[in-house]
């Protein structure tokens, strides 16, 4: 049996993580980003790839853990691959029939942090004009591209979530006063926003001008330069371009060449007058399962009214987008003796319309989690050392078995010591004298001027230290006597490790903030 997993399956997976972090109903699911491993890699310039083994993910990450920071609802976003707009690039136009759409560059982010979807690329031409409009309508740039504004990434979102390869994606649920909300509200389900001419045809007749006379709401006289051939404009349409009656479109059912008088298929709702201007061109018939779509075809006007040679259709002008189309066909119709072979088609927008839901419209099946760890976090976390592993875990427990809920936790073991004989070396192993316990040195905070008393922070504990025993550094040979012991804030191995990433060493300092981004890809 043939089958496929759609992009929405991936999006659903990402949405589950997003919702577990942002919805009040999921208050009992808590995520924490952790820092781990102070000691060097075998090759510091090339961290190894993490292994998904019980040893690595269930034990080593916990054993070497240094600190954790809770991820809140404001620290998470959907994310899509980043495609910067650049002049000279050919972008892929949106198409509901493109099976490779979600791996294509069909949207861009500009240097103003505006995100746009490409609706048409001018027959495969290069984009040379940066889109800038934030209107609710599809717009055309002078290079022939059609774009749809989706949303703007504000300064705080850019700082927190934009990376080299990904951009945040959001769908608003309340009015925040931005252009995005206006775009979402203006979107119409099944609207036909663009019809592309796929074959220009030839020999089509078109004309424009100002009405010479208006007999009544169905009979008008067009300009004297119009064709003198009877019925030449039959089955074409007349569109009122300006003046009284602007915006109306009617099909021509009879034309008298000598008098320039024509009859339309239905009375004008507002009857034009002799100041109204018009355009006559081929009729565009839109059929499908929606309703209300209305358009006409634009033809380059001939130098002489009697000439039709080479008159090709170059654009479909949509007057009414209609709604609720999930499929449609386009037929171009005019007097059969004047013009043939032009064809056109178009793409159905995503459900609810372009711009209605950026998260669903873009390949947003990635999640960015961001945690900022600032200095000591109110004297809670270590400084003056480095870390090499970041990761994500969920629902760790406190030592008493209750669920962790605070913002930060110190994951080092604290030994309060006296009689310290010197300075311990960074990352050296500290050995117990009588307990035979050992752990890795992280930092020391002195409590007297001489630095002989204070608190040692350790990680990677193996065994159990005892009070009153003497500890020794295996590299420095420095000794100290333990007066008290404080265990790590969280119960070891109590939370599920979901993600591990090995990195180059990152040093921590009291005046430094680490902006940690984790990108979870589905």
User: What are the domain boundaries of the chain?
Assistant: 195-345, 412-487
Question: What pLDDT sits at residue 296?
Answer: 95
Question: What pLDDT sits at residue 305?
Answer: 46
Q: Can you read off the two tokens belonging to residue 220?
A: 């008008």
Question: What pLDDT sits at residue 2?
Answer: 67
Residue with tokens 């993580």: 17
For residues 169 and 155, give the distance between their C-alpha atoms in angstroms, rounded to a whole number.
14
CA 231 to chain centre: 53
For residues 129 and 113, give the distance between their C-alpha atoms in angstroms, rounded to a whole number.
16
Question: What pLDDT sits at residue 14?
Answer: 85
CB neighbour list of residue 71: distance below 8 Å, 6 or more residues apart: 21, 31, 32, 33, 369, 370, 371, 392
For residues 14 and 19, give the distance between their C-alpha atoms in angstroms, rounded to a whole number.
9
Q: pLDDT tens digits for the chain (522 residues)?
A: 567 778 888 888 888 888 887 876 667 788 999 999 999 999 999 999 998 898 888 888 899 999 999 998 899 999 999 999 999 999 999 999 999 999 999 999 999 999 999 999 999 999 999 999 999 999 999 999 999 999 999 999 999 999 999 999 999 999 999 999 999 999 999 999 999 999 999 899 999 999 999 999 999 999 999 999 999 999 999 999 999 999 999 999 999 999 999 999 999 999 999 999 999 999 999 999 999 999 999 997 555 444 444 589 999 999 999 999 999 999 999 998 888 999 999 999 999 999 999 999 999 999 999 988 888 888 888 888 899 999 999 999 998 889 999 999 999 999 999 999 999 999 999 999 999 999 999 999 999 989 999 999 999 999 999 999 999 999 999 999 999 999 999 999 998 998 899 999 988 888 888 888 888 888
| Alpha-carbon dihedral 297, 302, 305, 307, rounded to 10 degrees | -100
> Whole-model pTM?
0.86
For residues 276 and 21, give the distance between their C-alpha atoms in angstroms, rounded to a whole number.
59
For residues 10 and 425, give the distance between their C-alpha atoms in angstroms, rounded to a whole number.
47
Q: 435-465 as b/e, with b when 16 or more CB fall inside 10 Å? A: eebbbbbbbbbeeeeeeebbbbbbbbbeeeb
Q: Are 333 and 285 in contact (CB under 8 A)?
A: yes
């Amino acid at each position: 049996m043939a089958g496929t997993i759609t992009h929405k399956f991936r999006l659903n997976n990402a949405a589950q993580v997003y919702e577990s972090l942002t919805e009040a109903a999921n208050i009992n699911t808590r995520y924490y980003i952790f820092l781990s491993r102070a000691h060097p890699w075998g090759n510091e310039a090339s961290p190894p790839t993490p292994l998904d083994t019980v040893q690595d993910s269930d034990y080593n990450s916990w054993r070497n853990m240094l600190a954790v920071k809770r991820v809140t609802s404001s620290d998470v976003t959907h994310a899509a691959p980043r495609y910067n707009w650049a002049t000279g690039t050919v972008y892929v136009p949106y198409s509901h029939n493109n099976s490779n759409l979600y791996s294509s560059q069909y949207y861009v982010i500009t240097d103003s942090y505006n995100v746009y979807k490409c609706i048409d690329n001018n027959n495969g031409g290069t984009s040379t004009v940066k889109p800038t409009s934030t209107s609710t309508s599809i717009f055309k740039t002078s290079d022939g591209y059609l774009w749809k504004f989706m949303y703007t990434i504000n300064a705080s979102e850019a700082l927190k979530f934009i990376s080299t390869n990904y951009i945040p994606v959001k769908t608003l649920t309340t009015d925040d006063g931005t252009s995005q909300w206006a775009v979402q509200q203006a979107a119409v389900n099944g609207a036909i926003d663009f019809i592309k001419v796929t074959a220009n045809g030839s020999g089509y007749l078109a004309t424009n001008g100002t009405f010479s006379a208006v007999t009544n709401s169905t009979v008008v006289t067009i300009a004297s330069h119009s064709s003198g051939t009877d019925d030449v404009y039959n089955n074409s349409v007349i569109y009122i371009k300006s003046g009284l009656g602007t915006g109306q479109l009617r099909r021509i059912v009879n034309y008298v060449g000598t008098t320039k008088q024509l009859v339309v298929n239905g009375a004008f709702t507002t009857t034009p007058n002799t100041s109204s201007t018009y355009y006559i061109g081929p009729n565009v018939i839109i059929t499908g399962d929606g309703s209300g779509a209305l358009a006409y075809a634009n033809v380059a006007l001939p130098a002489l009214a009697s000439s039709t040679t080479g008159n090709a259709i170059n654009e479909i002008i949509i007057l009414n987008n209609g709604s609720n189309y999930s499929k449609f066909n386009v037929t171009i119709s005019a007097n059969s003796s004047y013009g043939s072979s032009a064809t056109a088609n178009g793409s159905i927008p995503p459900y609810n319309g372009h711009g209605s839901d950026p998260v669903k419209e873009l390949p947003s099946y990635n999640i960015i989690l961001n945690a900022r760890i600032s200095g000591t976090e109110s004297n809670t976390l270590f400084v003056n050392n480095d870390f090499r592993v970041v990761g994500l875990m969920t629902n760790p427990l406190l030592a008493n078995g209750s669920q962790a809920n605070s913002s930060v936790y110190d994951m080092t073991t604290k030994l309060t010591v006296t009689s310290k004989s010197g300075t311990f070396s960074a990352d050296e192993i500290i050995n117990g004298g009588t307990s035979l316990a050992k752990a890795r040195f992280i930092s020391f905070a002195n409590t007297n001027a001489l630095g002989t008393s204070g608190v040692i922070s350790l990680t990677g504990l193996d065994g159990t230290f005892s009070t009153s025993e003497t500890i020794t550094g295996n590299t420095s040979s420095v000794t100290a006597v333990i007066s008290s012991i404080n265990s790590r804030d969280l119960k070891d191995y109590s939370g599920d490790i979901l993600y591990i990433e090995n990195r180059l060493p990152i040093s921590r300092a009291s005046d430094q903030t680490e902006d940690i981004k984790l990108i979870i890809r589905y």
